[in-house]
Chain A
Amino acid sequence: MGNPFDKLEQIFKTTFKNINFKNIHGVKIASNNKTQITNNIFIINPKSLPPEIQGKLQDTMKEFYEEKVELLKEDTSKQLADYTSKIATPENQTVIEFFKSRLSQEDMVLLQSCLYLRTVFNNDGDYAVLKSQIVERYHGRGASVSNLCTAGYFESLIIPMFQELERNGSLPNEVFRAIYDDIVVNYPFAVFINQRMNSDEVEAMIMKKIEANKKNGTPRLNIHGIGERNIEVILKILTEIEKKSKIARKKIDQSGKVIIVKLEFEPE
C-alpha cells in the first residue's frame, strides 16, 4: 500500500499546518464531529471540507480500500475486536473445538454467536440486541441454542453426553448432527421462560414437559428465567405445578436477575 500518511498530508497540509501526519494511526469519517485529531485518529467531517477536498478524500479512501485497508463502521470495528477477544477464552474454545469438525458451518456460526452472547451476558453487557439478531436469523433454533448455551448445558450435559456416546468410537457426522438437532429442538431437560409468554402458557409448557419426561423416564426438569418479570411468573406458577405433579424435590437458585428452579419427580 502507498504511504497513507503521505496521501493524507498531501490533501490536508494547507488546511492543517500543525498536524504531524506520521503520528496518525487511522482515519474516521464522522459527519457529526469536528475535524480533529483525537488519540492519533484523524477524525474527518467531510461536510466541513470544500467540495474539491471532499473529492480528493474520497479518491484516497478508494485507494486505501483497493490497496488493502478494510473499511468498517466504528461500532462494528469495536464489536469485531470484542468478539475476537471474548470468543478466545478457554471455556469458549473448549466448546468450539469439540463441535467444529462435526456441525455444519451454519450451526457453528450460530454456536459461536451464542457463546459470544453468553460471555457478554456474564459480563453484564447488552445481550438483548444480540439475542434478537440471533433469533431474527435462526428463529426458534437460535432461541434454543442461545438458551442452552447461556444456561451452561453445552458443558454440563451436551458435550458429556456426546463423549459418552463416542466412548467406543466417533459417530458419523450425519448421526452426530441428527442427535444434536434433536437436542436443540426438544431439550427435554429444561424449559426457558421468555417475556412473550403469559402465566397460563408458562404453566402449560412446563406441565407438558413434566408429563413427557415422566413417560420417558427422565425424572427431572430445570426451569430457567431471566429478568424480574420472568422470575415473578415462575414463582407464581410453581405452587400450581406442585399441586398438579408429584414433585419429589424442588431447589430454587436465584441470583440477581437469574432464576433456576430444579424439579425432580417420580417417573410413571
Chain B
Amino acid sequence: MFSVTFDNDQESKLFILQSIGKEIDDEEYVIDSETKERVLLPNGEELLFNDFAGVKKGSEIFIKSDIISLVEYVNKYR
C-alpha cells in the first residue's frame, strides 16, 4: 500500500500541514488556514505544532505524538 510519511523536523511537518490547509499561530498551535480556528484532537485538546504526529486520511482527525493518542487512534479508527 502506498504510504506518505514525514520527518520530525519543523520544516517537514510544516510542509505537510500547509499541504492540507493548516498553519501555526503565534502560540505554536496548529490552526486552519481559512478559519484560523485551532485544530482539535479527538479528546477536545488543542494541538501544539510540536505534538503533531499525523492525520487520518481525508479527515480532520489529528494524531498527537504519544502512546496514549496512538492507542486511542487505533481503537477508534483502525
Contact = CB atoms under 8 A, between A and B. Distances in A.
Interface of A: 1, 4, 25-33, 46-47, 54, 57-59, 61-62, 64-77, 79-80, 83-84, 105, 108-110, 112-113, 116-117, 130, 133-134, 136-138
A72 B71 contact: no
A4 B2 CA distance: 8
B55 A65 contact: yes
A76 B58 CA distance: 18
Given A46-B15, A71-B20, A30 B7 contact: yes
28 contacts: A27-B3, A29-B6, A29-B7, A31-B7, A31-B9, A31-B11, A32-B9, A47-B11, A58-B19, A61-B20, A69-B2, A71-B16, A71-B54, A72-B3, A72-B53, A73-B13, A73-B52, A73-B54, A76-B54, A76-B70, A77-B3, A77-B5, A80-B74, A109-B71, A112-B75, A113-B67, A130-B67, A133-B66
Contacts of A29: 4-7, 12, 15-16
A26 B70 contact: no
Given A30-B7, A61-B16, A105-B75, A76 B67 contact: no
Given A29-B15, A32-B9, A70-B56, A64 B4 contact: yes
A116 B55 CA distance: 22
A133 B19 contact: no
A72 B63 contact: yes
B19 A65 contact: yes
Nearest to A112: B71
A68 B71 contact: no
A62 B20 CA distance: 5
Interface string B40-59: 00000000000011111110
A263 to B, nearest CB: 33
Nearest to A78: B5
A29 B21 CA distance: 17
Nearest to B7: A30
Contacts of B18: 58
Interface of B: 2-9, 11-13, 15-16, 18-21, 52-58, 63, 65-68, 70-72, 74-75
B9 A69 contact: no
Contacts of A116: 67, 71
B75 A76 contact: no
A73 B53 contact: yes
Given A112-B75, A113-B68, 20 more contacts: A26-B2, A26-B3, A32-B9, A62-B20, A65-B58, A66-B58, A67-B58, A69-B2, A70-B3, A70-B54, A70-B56, A71-B4, A71-B57, A72-B53, A73-B5, A73-B7, A79-B67, A80-B74, A105-B75, A133-B66
Contact of A70 (B4, B12, B13, B67): B4
